[in-house]
């Protein structure tokens, strides 16, 4: 068994052509971690370019609306206030530094919601690298504002028409490009998925979310939160929040998958079985015959039949509980936060909010709890799609 396992999950299920490059990436990353200049440069970029630390905001009106008489306090970790509008930039800045260390001149990436595509196109512009983004045709339609942003940032956008024309298929095409151009090209994978070392690198880069949130909540509440809630697509914003709290036994953690609609869902952890997709072994929506099923979600960034391998381990160990909420519930939460707090959340993040509403309305929560939700991104990209659903 290879390195980079999370229990039995993870691994490096890729064609031989890519192995030397994964080995190089592991070595480069190990090297960078020992180099104080790497940490310092990343820190400077976080601080002056993307706007970290992001605020931790006590959402009082939302707390009252969702918590009723329970007197709970909901805090939002404002990843939506990052430059480019989501947590994705945390990962992209770090990986761009790694790409430069490996002397790669070209970047490729997949995108679903377009947030990772925008963040990748952004760092490619900043680091003067050429950039190609693969995006499913369905996502190009439903996340149109982000397509325009990527173009302005100088990226080439390749529409993907195979399969369900969403994130899974865009990822296949990105891997094919990478296999072909691996000598010059770095693949900035957008979540804690893919072959080792990606799930570890992305988790470590996103852990800045939990590191900050921990400090911030202790500062205002003088204690740790009772519950952490985050949406789970590939799993990067959630693991980024959870990871620094994993050892804190009293902090409960909830990962929220996309429950979709009668058209289908994306609950790989809730409904899937272990299988290999995109280079790693993890829970997967698949048929009896080992063919990958199409996922569905109103949120393009959650519309993926797989999930990061570390979440599979956290599910099996019971450390994190995974639930799902439907398209409809996410959509109401989207409207709730907009009206109650003046914050338009991403449809992905709205899944975390919708779960918080359920959580606070039943016996899983106790009075007076402190709940920390990762608001992974802002909803500017979603306003057109939401309008179409609300006023067809």
Partner 1 sequence: MTLDEHTKALRDSGRKALVAFLTAGYPDERTFVEMVKAASRAGCDVIEIGIPFSDPIADGPIIQESSTKALEQGITLKRCIELAKELSSEITPPLVFMSYINPILRMGIDRFAKDADSAGVRGVIVADVPLEESEEVRSVVSEFGLTYIDLLAPTSSDDRIDTIASGANGFIYLVSVTGVTGANSPEASDVTRFVERVREKTELPLYVGFGIASASQARSACESADGVIIGSALIKMARSVEASEAPEKIETFLRQVRGAIDEVADSATPVENPERTE
Ligand X SMILES: Cc1ncc(COP(=O)(O)O)c(C=O)c1O
The contact set with ligand X (CB under 6 A) reads: 86, 112-113, 115-116, 191, 231-238, 301-302, 346, 348-349, 376-377
The token pair at 240 is 């980024």
- Active-site amino acid positions: 88, 110, 376
DSSP letter for 49, please.
I
**Site membership for partner 1, residue 7 (CB under 8 A):** no
Q: Taking the CA atoms of 287, 12, 9 and 231 in sequence, report the sign of the dihedral they define.
A: negative
Which residue carries 């790497």 as its tokens? 38
Closer to ligand X by CB, 72 or 277: give it: 277
Closer to ligand X by CB, 312 or 349: give it: 349
Distances (CA, A) of 338 to 68, 83, 246, 320, 344: 19, 20, 31, 28, 5
Task: Lay out the sheet containing 280-284: strands in order across.
Answer: 5-6, 9-10, 280-284, 273-277
Tell the smallest beta-carbon distance from residue 300 to partner 1 (Å). 18
Tell the smallest beta-carbon distance from residue 235 to partner 1 (Å). 19
Write out the binding residues for partner 1, residues 139-198 only, by CB under 8 A.
162-163, 168, 172, 175-176, 179-183
How many CB atoms are closer than 10 A to CB 252? 20
349 binds, among partner 1, ligand X, none (CB under 5 to 8 A by kind): ligand X
**Site membership for partner 1, residue 250 (CB under 8 A):** no
**Site membership for partner 1, residue 63 (CB under 8 A):** no
Please, how many CA atoms are within 13 Å of residue 298, restricted to the half-sphere of its CB?
31
**Site membership for partner 1, residue 276 (CB under 8 A):** yes
**Site membership for partner 1, residue 108 (CB under 8 A):** no
Distances (CA, A) of 354 to 3, 127, 152, 295, 322: 37, 38, 33, 20, 14
Closer to ligand X by CB, 109 or 231: give it: 231
**Site membership for partner 1, residue 292 (CB under 8 A):** yes
**Site membership for partner 1, residue 309 (CB under 8 A):** no
Task: Lay out the sheet containing 106-111: strands in order across.
Answer: 156-160, 130-136, 106-111, 185-187
**Site membership for partner 1, residue 268 (CB under 8 A):** no
The token pair at 61 is 């009106």
184 binds, among partner 1, ligand X, none (CB under 5 to 8 A by kind): none
Closer to partner 1 by CB, 158 or 179: give it: 179
């Amino acid at each position: 068994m290879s390195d980079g396992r999370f229990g039995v999950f993870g691994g490096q299920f890729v064609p031989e052509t890519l192995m030397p490059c994964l080995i190089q990436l592991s070595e480069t990353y190990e090297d960078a971690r020992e180099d104080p200049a790497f940490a310092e440069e990343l820190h400077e970029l976080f601080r002056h370019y993307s706007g970290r630390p992001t605020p931790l905001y006590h959402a009082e009106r939302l707390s009252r609306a969702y918590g009723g008489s329970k007197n709970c306090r909901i805090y939002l970790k404002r990843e939506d206030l990052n430059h480019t509008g989501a947590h994705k930039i945390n990962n992209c800045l770090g990986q761009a530094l790694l790409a430069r260390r490996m002397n790669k001149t070209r970047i490729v990436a997949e995108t679903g919601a377009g947030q990772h595509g925008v963040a990748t196109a952004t760092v490619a512009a900043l680091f003067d690298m050429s950039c190609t983004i693969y995006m499913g045709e369905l996502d190009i339609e439903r996340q149109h504002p982000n397509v325009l942003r990527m173009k302005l940032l100088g990226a080439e956008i390749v529409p993907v028409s195979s399969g369900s024309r969403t994130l899974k298929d865009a990822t296949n095409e990105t891997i094919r490009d990478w296999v072909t151009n691996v000598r010059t090209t770095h693949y900035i994978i957008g979540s804690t998925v893919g072959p080792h070392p990606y799930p570890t690198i992305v988790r470590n880069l996103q852990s800045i979310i939990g590191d900050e949130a921990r400090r911030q909540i202790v500062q205002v509440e003088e204690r740790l939160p009772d519950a952490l809630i985050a949406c789970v697509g590939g799993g990067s914003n959630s693991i980024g929040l959870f990871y620094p709290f994993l050892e804190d036994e009293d902090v409960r953690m909830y990962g929220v998958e996309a429950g979709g609609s009668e058209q289908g869902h994306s609950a790989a952890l809730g409904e899937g079985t272990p299988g290999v997709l995109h280079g790693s072994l993890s829970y997967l929506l698949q048929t009896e015959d080992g063919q990958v099923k199409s996922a569905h979600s109103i949120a393009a960034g959650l519309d993926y039949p797989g999930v990061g391998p570390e979440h599979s381990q956290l599910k099996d160990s019971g450390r994190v509980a995974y639930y799902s909420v439907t398209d409809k519930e996410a959509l109401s939460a989207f409207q709730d936060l907009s009206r109650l707090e003046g914050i338009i959340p991403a449809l992905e993040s709205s899944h975390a909010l919708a779960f918080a509403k359920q959580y606070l309305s039943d016996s899983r929560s106790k009075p007076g709890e402190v709940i920390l939700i990762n608001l992974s991104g802002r909803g500017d990209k979603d306003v057109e799609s939401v309008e179409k659903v609300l006023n067809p």
